[in-house]
Amino acid sequence: MLRCQRRVNRKTATVRLDKVQYQVNIALAGEKVEIRYHFNDTSEIEVWQRGRMLEVASPVSVGKDIDFSRRPKQSPEIRKRGEMFPAFRSYRLALAGGRAPENSLPLPDAHLTEAEFIGLFVEVLKRALSASEDASLRRFFGKYAPFEKQSTRAMLEKIVEAAGAQQHLRSYCERLLEAVLYGGKNNG
């Protein structure tokens, strides 16, 4: 591998190699690092410091107004397995009205996971999904999530009741999105 020394950009936490910028950890902003790369493959680079490989970085397109220099450097926190993050603890206390919850189990989530979202479609449509339909639902979920469990189920059941279970999957997704965004009113 070829090697070169670079200083990580203080504002964007990137390093430049042959007119390509690579995103590295924000903790390295302003630091001098060694870059190792293959001469004919610049799809990723290795970032080294003091003889230790820190990470593998990928190319990134940096916007004009990105400035990480105002953020404090983040040091990785070491936690015991099962220990709660302080932000999550304060969030749970806020949900519980400022008092500590009776048990240490996390509060149940009212939103669907990707698997639950796809399972909901399978259940309501009463049919198995093809591989392309499954991939389409995953893309839709990734773009428009989160979806609340109860209201999404109710909306999807109403859509299937009105349109039938043999429509194209995109039709259900568009109507579901319309119901979520506009409360079921068609503005078009």
Give pLDDT tens digits for 42-55: 788 999 988 888 89
User: What pLDDT, on the 0 to 100 scale, is given for residue 170?
Assistant: 86
User: What pLDDT, on the 0 to 100 scale, is given for residue 163?
Assistant: 85
d(CA 11, CA 60) in angstroms, rounded, equals 14
Residue numbers of the domain that contains 155: 114-182
Domain stops at, among 10, 40, 57: 57
The CATH number given to whatever domain includes residue 50 is 2.40.50
Q: Whole-structure pTM over 0.95, yes or no?
A: no
In a domain, 27, yes or no: yes
**Mean pLDDT of the region 168-183:** 82
In a domain, 97, yes or no: no
Our count of domains for the chain comes to 2
Which of 17-21, 70-74, 156-160 is the least confident region?
Answer: 70-74
In a domain, 147, yes or no: yes
Check if the beta carbon of residue 10 is closer than 8 Å to that of residue 69.
Answer: yes
User: What pLDDT, on the 0 to 100 scale, is given for residue 106?
Assistant: 46
In a domain, 94, yes or no: no
Which of 2-11, 26-35, 72-81 is the least confident region?
Answer: 72-81
d(CA 118, CA 135) in angstroms, rounded, equals 10
d(CA 113, CA 187) in angstroms, rounded, equals 29
Domain stops at, among 57, 78, 103: 57
In a domain, 91, yes or no: no
**Mean pLDDT of the region 18-28:** 88
In a domain, 86, yes or no: no
d(CA 172, CA 149) in angstroms, rounded, equals 16
How much of the chain, in percent, has pLDDT values that exceed 90? 16
Domain stops at, among 57, 74, 102: 57
SS3 state of residue 114:
helix
For residue 105, pLDDT beyond 60: no
80 or 147: whose pLDDT is higher? 147
In a domain, 68, yes or no: no
d(CA 112, CA 160) in angstroms, rounded, equals 19
How much of the chain, in percent, has pLDDT values that exceed 70? 70
In a domain, 146, yes or no: yes
